Amino acid sequence: MRSDRLGESLLPKRYALPIFASDPLSSVAYATQEILIVLTLAGTAFLYLAPWLAAAVVVLLVTVVLSYRQVVRAYPSGGGDYEVAMKNHGPAAGLVVGSALLVDYVLTVAVSVSAGTDNIISAFPSLNDDRVLIAVVLVAVLAAANLRGLRESGRAFALPTYLFVSGILVMLVTGFIRYFFTPGGLVAESSGYSITPEPGYSDLAGLALVLLALRAFASGCTALTGVEAIANGVPAFRPPKGRNAATTLALMGGIAATMFAGVTALALLADVKYTEFTCDLVGFAGDCETDPQRTVIAQLAAAVFGGDGSLGFYVIQTATALILILAANTAFNGFPLLGSVLAQDRFMPRQLHTRGDKLAYSNGILLLAGFAVLLIVAFDASVSRLIQLYIIGVFTSFTIGQWGMVRHWNRELGLTGDGQDRRRMRRSQAINFVGGTLTSVVLVIIVVTKFTHGAWLVLVSMPVLIVLMKAISKHYSHVAQQLVPDTDSRTLPSKVHAVVLVSKVHKPTLRALAFARATRPDQLTALTVNVDDEDTRALQADWERYDIPCALTVVESPYREITRPVLDYVTAIRRESPRELVVVFVPQYVVGHWWENVLHNQSALRLRARLQFQPGVMITTVPWQLESSVGRDDGDAQGLGPAPGDLRRGLTDDEVESTPMAEGPADRRRRPDRARAPGRPRPTGGWGGPAPSSR
Amino acid sequence: MRSDRLGESLLPKRYALPIFASDPLSSVAYATQEILIVLTLAGTAFLYLAPWLAAAVVVLLVTVVLSYRQVVRAYPSGGGDYEVAMKNHGPAAGLVVGSALLVDYVLTVAVSVSAGTDNIISAFPSLNDDRVLIAVVLVAVLAAANLRGLRESGRAFALPTYLFVSGILVMLVTGFIRYFFTPGGLVAESSGYSITPEPGYSDLAGLALVLLALRAFASGCTALTGVEAIANGVPAFRPPKGRNAATTLALMGGIAATMFAGVTALALLADVKYTEFTCDLVGFAGDCETDPQRTVIAQLAAAVFGGDGSLGFYVIQTATALILILAANTAFNGFPLLGSVLAQDRFMPRQLHTRGDKLAYSNGILLLAGFAVLLIVAFDASVSRLIQLYIIGVFTSFTIGQWGMVRHWNRELGLTGDGQDRRRMRRSQAINFVGGTLTSVVLVIIVVTKFTHGAWLVLVSMPVLIVLMKAISKHYSHVAQQLVPDTDSRTLPSKVHAVVLVSKVHKPTLRALAFARATRPDQLTALTVNVDDEDTRALQADWERYDIPCALTVVESPYREITRPVLDYVTAIRRESPRELVVVFVPQYVVGHWWENVLHNQSALRLRARLQFQPGVMITTVPWQLESSVGRDDGDAQGLGPAPGDLRRGLTDDEVESTPMAEGPADRRRRPDRARAPGRPRPTGGWGGPAPSSR
């Protein structure tokens, strides 16, 4: 029955779409406006280019979507471009993609939140002075929510996404109707303005003009950001995962293309003006130094639904702001996934790979939020300035991924002779080839046109990340070399010498002694450190009184210090007989409140820290649970709460909540047949008999 | 030979004096001026009272010194007033003294540093604006020095102290000569000023006058602060400790009395004016709003040695500033001592008792410095305002201590019949009785006259401290009750089930397995958590390849989490056979650099944290030393560096530096005959044979 539950809990397309599409769809909210911003640098002269540039972007979008349909089918494990690059170009390329994606996650947060802020401000212009503050607060809220274990859920995403999509579509339809069939037509608030070209941009021609057009096109390419999301989320789809993911991709692509094209068209028809520098707008209502321009979306909504007061306007603005914030949130969920994939390849701390380590995730979230805030503050939460950094990473991974797919098909073609398949593969390869070529060209364009506008920052930080990841994997492999087994490491120690640390004769000590004796060591020493003569004498008296079946050894501590004498004692044993194994039993209190630790255990901890540098010494802590500790193991809650990215992994709510003691076989991908529910050892062979004595 | 070294390293009187007397002697630097400050509230009218008040203070000082000579003889263990109160009045009184002393240490730092700052400013008036800053920086420097393990040494103290004493004495002699034998006489820079009484203080009479006099007297009593220091440092003296300490006390008392009397006399002769509010000084040279008055010491030095430029002036100022800072430093050394005494009685975290825990000391130092800075900032580093808080604590412990001694002698008298002794004891008791009476009276005076001037702060914080200490000891005794041994805690577990955690087949794992087998458990399970199928399959393959003589058990982890499945597995075993002892072997990397821990061990740590809540489970960490860890155990340095207060404990440089492997018997007090150098187990009985099997 669990497997059923599991089946259910995997994502049907209607939920998968909003979850993975919120990021790419949301970019519709700013893509058009980014094209205008660049073109209007030269006044209104070259606005006629806008449609063509938009068309180019749409073509590109469609190509990339088609290419990714190949990726999701070929690599359903959710590794996305990174996996493709790794498998087909090797680690170097993989690292480039990895670093590109890391940078992108930061920028997704920064850009989406800033754009969201813009649209909030468009609805409530008075907030303009607090732009940066609002953006930072939004990031903080997202980070906090994800730290607390905010659970992604299809439903939560569905509403705003579908609201946004339908809202925009309704707006477009109404808009076109008004434009063509109503006398007044459709007039944006900024249609009356004229634009003074920036110095040096007036009457451009030749190369300069081409460059301007390319820059505008590059900016428009932000419409493609987030397309790769689905490729990283295939595991969350219902089987047949590959096909469902591909369908969803197509759906998403179609919607995105329509909306982008529509918004751009409508903006041009309504004669929307949007410039980088507000003061270039001649006739701008309000003080161009302080007052903001309203986003293209806001201007259209106002024009279509009749003024700011209108319900439609507020609906659109709300939906837009919401989906942009959702888009930012996807980064918080995507990052841990990437982290765990990178960790699996030892490019990142390995605890990122396991679910258990909330700490690692928390740090990831904090880093993500931290850098996003840094960028937001550094760039005054200006979308158009942040965009310059954004697209580089995106297209880097696009390009490498696509070329990787081309190789992939070559290899595949090498293996299969079947004509049917080969034709299919050739077609796929062709698609990826086109995709690869286009994205490469765009990447070049971006680097050339955006470098001086901030892209350099990304081109600097990516290598830094790569070096870091290389260093980490180097460390791991270096360690791995040290750890290759040799005969020496398998030889059994000749004898076992148990040393039980005694401070007082009380339950913990007695338990430690009992446990130590239960392990039947060759030698058993009860060791105490004489810190205070009276105490020690009292201890010795008790020792007699309880006549404990093992002599008490007292070592002196002139400096009222515990660690050192024990250490010396142990090293002395080791020196006398190096092949002897020393097991140090440390009774330790387990307390319930953090402050109790201030009153206990310090020495035990310090001792362990020091002893571990001694080869051939084992430290055994014998925990004694104080009353206050009962029922204090809140580890469960921590251990099993939802973690960011679970949904995208296909670990959805029900499953995350179900206890691991639950029965039955489960999702094949993660639980092959030999799977057992944890806690229930496999019957056969799991229980080794007593190991042969070493003598 | 070590014992000789030890003998040497105990303090000869010539070094003991500066170390313990810097605090009491330094108070000469401000006592006189505190009397003047109060008297001059009523203008110059009642300055004639000054000599009488000073005389009263001297009498008090002598009495207290005499009383303490009894204490050091009767309680040579260095517990001081706290011990006296504990032994003769019981815990309640002990706690009062304890809290009083804690408060005093904070105020010693605040007052001494502020006074030091005053004298620095008297030499360099331009620094006046940064008064508070300077004081805070001085505290910070002292704290830092003590955190780094600044070592008190007799020599370091000797120079400034003797310089100060001799400097002041020379100044006095020269001063008197000039006054009596030179035509011009001795004229302080402030002699010309007249003083306008504060509103409400003009022409006082009757009770009001008495109150003023009493207030002035109470302020003058600061001359006694620090007298108790020697009583807490007896262990550091050479035997016969008691007698030597007593002699040093007498010496200190004599010097202090002389200096205080002399300075006061000379100040009055030179007609020094010093007021609380500078603007009450009519004819004050400079802006009374901003410019500081110079300390009485500074004014005298200038008058005696001829102006600011003179060498003598600078010598005096330097010596005064130095000894005041030394006095502050004594608090940093005295505090840990008090802490360890309180810890021994379980009123404070017990790790304060042992030398090992640097952390505990560091926290103590930081707390001390923190509160001192708080006070300095709150009271603008004004000595005369801080004084109000200071003396209460001092006289509280004086009083309780003296009355405790009276009881002590009663008890002693009860025991001995010998006439000779009885007479001696009677005399001692009489002295303590007088001391007790006087100090009680003064305490009342202080509380009455100072309460509204800030003393209330102390009278509030002492109870808080008492409650805190009570709570701590309550916690300890509560725990102690839980731990009283019963038969149950001694029963041996029926069987031992060893569980070795396996992640990979590498040296650490093999070592862990070898060690686990060496302990010959009844059952041995090699347990791995299936986080990633590929990894697990690889592991199983290796397992076969190295044909490891123990089957590998795989538990599933649907959520790619390690802790939980292991936990469930262990609890399952416990559930099946509760009397079985489970030993979990955790291979653990030992790394050399902190950042390496970011890349390793996380799961091991978390696992231990969770497992310890399971009764009947032992966690055995099998450390594997990575190359980077070799020679990285800097614990030694930490473990044996000098700690604050060592000198006062009689643990001086040589001894602190000597390694514990050194030979021979040592100071009887801390090392009775049965003492051995650590690391060398006593030959007899220390080695228990193999414990009897539990079946």
Q: Give per-residue pLDDT as tens, A512-563.
A: 898 888 888 899 999 998 887 888 999 999 999 888 888 899 998 876 678 8
A448 has a chain B CB within 8 A of its CB = no
Confidence (pTM): 0.69
pLDDT at position A324: 94
Mean per-residue pLDDT, A324-342: 86
Q: Do A519 and B583 touch (CB under 8 A)?
A: yes
Picking from A347, A489, A657 by the largest number of B CB atoms within 10 A of its own CB, the best residue to mutate is A489
The residues in B 360-399 lying below 8 A from A, measured between CB atoms, are 360
Q: Could you give phi then psi for residue A664, rounded to 5 degrees?
A: 80, 160
Give per-residue pLDDT as tens, B168-223. Answer: 999 999 999 999 998 888 889 898 898 888 888 887 878 889 989 999 999 999 99
Are the C-beta atoms of residues B99 and B338 closer than 8 Å to each other?
no
Residues A453-471 as b or e (16 or more Cβ within 10 Å = b): bbbebbbebbeebbeebee
Taking phi over 0 as left and psi of -120 to 50 as alpha, with beta for the rest, A292 belongs to beta
Give per-residue pLDDT as tens, B446-475. Answer: 888 888 888 888 889 999 999 999 999 998
The residues in B 544-603 lying below 8 A from A, measured between CB atoms, are 546, 549-551, 553-565, 567-569, 571-572, 581, 583, 585, 588-590, 596, 598-600, 602-603
Task: Give the closest of A572, A585, A623 to B679, CB-based.
Answer: A572
> Which of B575, B656, B592, B668 is CA-nearest to residue B628?
B592
Both tokens of A156, joined, read 């939560």
The amino acid sitting at A25 is L
Tell me the C-alpha distance between B387 and A376, whole Å.
Answer: 52
Q: Which long-range contacts (CB under 8 A, 24 or more apart) does A384-387 make?
A: A384/A33, A384/A34, A384/A37, A384/A219, A384/A276, A385/A453, A385/A454, A386/A107, A386/A110, A386/A111, A386/A114, A386/A454, A387/A30, A387/A34, A387/A111, A387/A219, A387/A222
A471 has a chain B CB within 8 A of its CB = no
pLDDT at position B489: 67
Q: To the nearest whole number, what is the mean pLDDT of chain B?
A: 83
Q: Is the pLDDT reported for residue B635 higher than 70?
A: no
Task: Give the closest of A571, A611, A622 to B618, CB-based.
Answer: A622
Percent of chain A with pLDDT over 70: 86
| Residue whose structure tokens are 């942009």 | A324
Are the C-beta atoms of residues A390 and A101 closer than 8 Å to each other?
no
The band of B29, judged by pLDDT with boundaries at 50, 70 and 90, is very high
Lowest mean pLDDT among A444-448, A583-587, A595-599, B667-671: B667-671
Å from A561 to nearest chain B CA?
4
A411 has a chain B CB within 8 A of its CB = no
Å from A688 to nearest chain B CA?
5
pLDDT at position B674: 36
pLDDT at position A692: 36
Mean per-residue pLDDT, B103-122: 94
Q: Is the pLDDT reported for residue A655 higher than 70?
A: no
Give the range with max mean pLDDT: A268-277, B140-149, B416-425. Answer: A268-277
Q: How many CB pairs under 8 A join A and B?
A: 411
Mean per-residue pLDDT, A373-390: 91
Give per-residue pLDDT as tens, B496-540. Answer: 899 999 988 888 888 889 888 888 889 999 999 888 788 899 999
The band of A587, judged by pLDDT with boundaries at 50, 70 and 90, is confident
Percent of chain B with pLDDT over 70: 86
Both tokens of B609, joined, read 């944290």
B81 contacts: CB under 8 Å, gap ≥ 6: B71, B97, B101, B228, B231, B397, B398, B400, B401, B404
Lowest mean pLDDT among A6-10, A410-414, B215-219, B636-640: B636-640
DSSP-derived secondary structure for A120-159:
HHHH-GGGGGGHHHHHHHHHHHHHHHHHTTPPP-HHHHHH
Q: Do A682 and B484 touch (CB under 8 A)?
A: no
Tell me the C-alpha distance between A299 and A189, whole Å.
Answer: 7
Enclosing H/E stretch for B267: helix B241-269
A87 has a chain B CB within 8 A of its CB = no
Enclosing H/E stretch for A370: helix A358-378
The band of B646, judged by pLDDT with boundaries at 50, 70 and 90, is low
User: Which chain B residues touch A533 with a CB distance below 8 Å?
Assistant: 670, 672
A423: number of Cβ within 10 Å: 10
Tell me the C-alpha distance between A80 and B241, whole Å.
Answer: 80
Q: Is the pLDDT reported for residue A224 higher than 50?
A: yes
Taking phi over 0 as left and psi of -120 to 50 as alpha, with beta for the rest, B496 belongs to beta
Give per-residue pLDDT as tens, A167-215. Answer: 999 999 999 999 999 888 888 989 889 888 888 888 777 888 998 999 9
Are the C-beta atoms of residues A223 and A54 closer than 8 Å to each other?
no
User: Which chain B residues touch A524 with a CB distance below 8 Å?
Assistant: 688-691
ipTM rounded to 2 decimals? 0.70
